[in-house]
Structure 1
Amino acid sequence: MSSPERTIINFFSDVAFSFDGAILGLTLAFSAVRSGFKYASNSAALNKIKQAPEVSVSDLRSLIPSSDEQSETNENGNSLDRCIVVVRGTVKPKNSGDWSNKSNVLISSETGDKALIIQRTQTYMYSGWKTLFQLSNTHRYILERSMPKQGADFLRMVPFVIVENNQKPSFLDVNMDGSRQPLPLTTVYSRLQPISSSPYAFLQALLFPEYPVGLLDVEKILPPGRDITAVGICSFNNGVPEIKSCQDLPYFLSEMTKDKMIADLMRRTTVLFWGGLIMGCLSIGILSFASVRCWNRWKLWAQQREPSQRPTQPVVEDETEDADEIPDGQLCVICVTRRRIPAFVPCGHIVCCRQCALTVERGTNPKCPVCLQTIRGSMRVYYS
């Protein structure tokens, strides 16, 4: 590990364990809460997909109410028109008229492949002294950043349907409006174009944390004839079955079957559950430790401030006596030169002179020199 990486790791570790680990505990608590919300959403999606019937395209009409039945159920207040189903089939382009007409498809400008969806992304590749903070130093580091929206990312698609076993008379229309789930696209073109350096490249590398060094151009398509699984809200639109994405589900169009989706969601929910539980327990322990340490420090600070807040009293010098005239049993156990006068509270031991008793009281952890019990102060004892 290089020295800059070691410096960065030490800095973040110092920040994480500052305030007795309170920052680390709060970070773990925030991560545990986020994991809890994700676990709840994934569990709800898992239950919906488990309860969703897996039907073929030809059986949709028997499962979903027609338009007349939908209007009747709407008048009765039911929600049968929002039916989540799982349909497996082959994607085909949608024709404008009957199925004998020529289908409309998109053509990739780079490869010439036929496609129903074409997604092209252009991304700037950055480099600079910011790359020194990466975890490994065996490669040349580049940081990706998306270009501005002017022509960098664009998506083209044509209407397409899902058919069963290439049986064109029965089909399911796919409505892509409002879809935010990832699409099962295939990368057909990927090229990295280096950007020619300018005369000020040295100044860019010296003064700026990162500067562009290349342009990555990627094109992905959805080819016709691919077998996919559609999960969403299915209904009838002018007598034609139509499926639309459900925002509560992480899938809409996918190459996975229903069983694989359930297995993937179960794996996610298990990881989120145990990860959130472990981070929550760690955060509680760390925050409790930090709270106890802060409470003890506050009590110590209050004890140290308490003697300074007392009204200052002039220290009365002990009576000047010759040490030879004081019996050995009445000499201070600390200085062994003056007479024992005050008694410690609450133990009541009379073992020190006035000056040594004040010195013991003003210590960080005042204790009686004889019984080692914590003392709160001292009081003078008069013998009559």
Structure 2
Amino acid sequence: MSSHDGAAAAVFAQVALSADGAVIGLVLAYVAIQSFFKFSYTSSALRKIRRAPAVRVSDLRFLLSSSDDSNNNASNTDESEPSEGKLLFVRGLVEAKSTIDGNWRSLRPNVLVSHESGERGVVLQRTQTCIYNEWRGLFGWTSDLRTLFARSWKEQKSTSLRTVPFILVEAGQWPHTDYVIVNLDGSRHPLPLMTVYHQLQPVHASPYTFLQALFGHEYPVGLLDEEKILPLGKEISAVGVCRLQDGTPEIKSCKDLPFFLSDMTKDQMVVDLAFRTKVLLWGGILLGSLSFGILGYAIVRNWNRWKEWRQQMQTRQPIDTAAAAIAEIGRDEDVGDVPDGELCVICLMQRRRSAFVPCGHFVCCQGCALSVERESAPKCPVCRQTIRTSIRIYNS
């Protein structure tokens, strides 16, 4: 670790341990609260996925038709709003929607083709990531803190996503008379994409790159090009709100669920969410207990310090009044010229009047001697020995 990194780590440690660890306690409390919020969201999603029936693609039309009939009967009797759909779990093969249009276009389905590998799919995601390197240069002017945060401010990755309408069909069925349309509108869930191209290309240096390296700035050294697709014929699962759209089953993502399209089966999703809920619950309890203990310790310590400070202020006030009166008396006594050898070594204005115990040095006026006594660790200004008190010396 360099000297700059060590200094930054020391600053962060001082900030974290300030106020007897109150900052760490607050951070842990915030993380614990976030864990409980995520636990509530994940446990709710787990209950919904457990209750969602796993339906075959061929049974969707009949199931949704019967569900719509029951909703219509309920709306006629109770005058309630019709349901927006039913939460279902469907598993099938990916196929382009153009293959079931039933016209000449089905001979040449509308699919996406990878530019590099030639793989065909319905979703194509291309990502270009610029990789940066940094050298401190001859001058070493680069700040470590600026280096840590500058990379998060600067855009280093560009992603393009292209999709075509696609459906899920039942395996082994041809022609595809039963299918469900997958609606990706408004979905921010991750897609089960497959990487078909991954290559790192070096960036050739230029005179400007040399100047960047010379002065310690970050400079590009490589370009990572990656392509991912959702290939045709891949078996995936879809869990979401399913309804009949113009007589055709359509499934859409549910914002309350962490999954929409996935490689996992329903049992695997349940196991994964159950594990997440346990980790979030016990992690939140552990972090909450730890933050409660740290904050309690910090509150008690700071409360005791405040009481000590208040007590010192209450006891110091009469001492300050007495010291001011004594100093005033000393000034009245020391009217006239004082030889340099008899001046107080602290204020250099008053005559030496007090001697320290136990060292016995006679170097201060009475006001400065009282000020030295009131310090948290009183020491003689000459020999730096710890003193207990001071004695007023009277000249006969």
Q: TM over 0.5, yes or no?
A: yes
Residue in 1 aligned with 2:29? 29
Label 1:147 to 1:92 Cα distance change in 2 as closer, same or farther (>3 A): same
Residue in 1 aligned with 2:120? 114
> After superposition, what is the alpha-carbon deviation per residue over 1:170-197, rounded to whole angstroms, capped at 9, x for unaligned?
1111111111100000001111122222
> After superposition, what is the alpha-carbon deviation per residue over 1:83-135, rounded to whole angstroms, capped at 9, x for unaligned?
1100011111112622883232211111111111100011111121599979x
Distance in 2 between the 1:68 and 1:98 partners?
29
* Contact 1:123/1:145 (<8 A) preserved: no
Q: Aligned ranges for residues 291-330 of structure 1 at < 5 Å?
A: 291-310=299-318, 312-313=321-322
1:98 equivalent among 78, 102, 105: 102
Q: What stretches of structure 1 of length at least 5 have no aligned partner? A: 135-141, 318-334, 336-357, 366-384
* Contact 1:123/1:147 (<8 A) preserved: yes
Report the CA distance between 1:272 and its aligned residue.
Answer: 0.8
> After superposition, what is the alpha-carbon deviation per residue over 1:160-215, rounded to whole angstroms, capped at 9, x for unaligned?
11111242111111111111100000001111122222213243235455222221
Label 1:169 to 1:195 Cα distance change in 2 as closer, same or farther (>3 A): same
Distance in 2 between the 1:174 and 1:217 partners?
28
* Contact 2:61/2:248 (<8 A) preserved: no
Label 1:215 to 1:32 Cα distance change in 2 as closer, same or farther (>3 A): same
* Contact 2:120/2:232 (<8 A) preserved: yes
> After superposition, what is the alpha-carbon deviation per residue over 1:271-321, rounded to whole angstroms, capped at 9, x for unaligned?
111111111111111011111111111111111111232382457x9xxxx
TM-score computed with the length of structure 1 as normaliser: 0.73
Residue in 1 aligned with 2:59? 59
Q: Aligned ranges for residues 213-292 of structure 1 at < 5 Å?
A: 213-292=221-300
Distance in 2 between the 1:272 and 1:30 partners?
14
Distance in 2 between the 1:85 and 1:306 partners?
72
Residue in 2 aligned with 1:38? 38
Q: What stretches of structure 2 of length at least 5 have no aligned partner? A: 137-141, 146-150, 330-356, 358-369, 378-396
Distance in 2 between the 1:217 and 1:145 partners?
18
* Contact 1:65/1:81 (<8 A) preserved: no
Distance in 2 between the 1:27 and 1:287 partners?
10
2:204 equivalent among 192, 196, 208: 196
Label 1:51 to 1:157 Cα distance change in 2 as closer, same or farther (>3 A): same
Label 1:24 to 1:171 Cα distance change in 2 as closer, same or farther (>3 A): same
Residue in 1 aligned with 2:349? none
> After superposition, what is the alpha-carbon deviation per residue over 1:15-57, rounded to whole angstroms, capped at 9, x for unaligned?
2111100111111011111111111111111111011011101
Residue in 1 aligned with 2:89? 86
Report the CA distance between 1:69 and its aligned residue.
Answer: 6.0
Partner amino acid, structure 1, of 2:228: K
Partner amino acid, structure 1, of 2:292: I
Distance in 2 between the 1:362 and 1:204 partners?
58
Distance in 2 between the 1:98 and 1:68 partners?
29
Distance in 2 between the 1:21 and 1:304 partners?
25
- Mean Cα deviation higher: 295-304 or 229-238: 295-304
Label 1:277 to 1:99 Cα distance change in 2 as closer, same or farther (>3 A): farther
**Structure number having the greater helix percentage:** 2
* Contact 2:135/2:217 (<8 A) preserved: yes
Residue in 2 aligned with 1:355? none
* Contact 1:127/1:143 (<8 A) preserved: no
Distance in 2 between the 1:29 and 1:195 partners?
45
* Contact 1:5/1:132 (<8 A) preserved: no
Label 1:177 to 1:70 Cα distance change in 2 as closer, same or farther (>3 A): farther
* Contact 1:83/1:235 (<8 A) preserved: yes
Label 1:28 to 1:143 Cα distance change in 2 as closer, same or farther (>3 A): closer
Distance in 1 between the 2:74 and 2:189 partners?
30
Distance in 2 between the 1:58 and 1:221 partners?
26
Label 1:146 to 1:286 Cα distance change in 2 as closer, same or farther (>3 A): same
Percent identity of equivalent pairs? 49
Residue in 2 aligned with 1:338? none
Partner amino acid, structure 2, of 1:77: S
**Coordinate RMSD, CA, aligned:** 3.5
Residue in 1 aligned with 2:192? 184
Partner amino acid, structure 1, of 2:125: Q
* Contact 1:307/1:362 (<8 A) preserved: no
SS state of the match for residue 246, structure 1? coil
Residue in 2 aligned with 1:156? 162
Distance in 2 between the 1:209 and 1:250 partners?
40
* Contact 1:84/1:233 (<8 A) preserved: yes
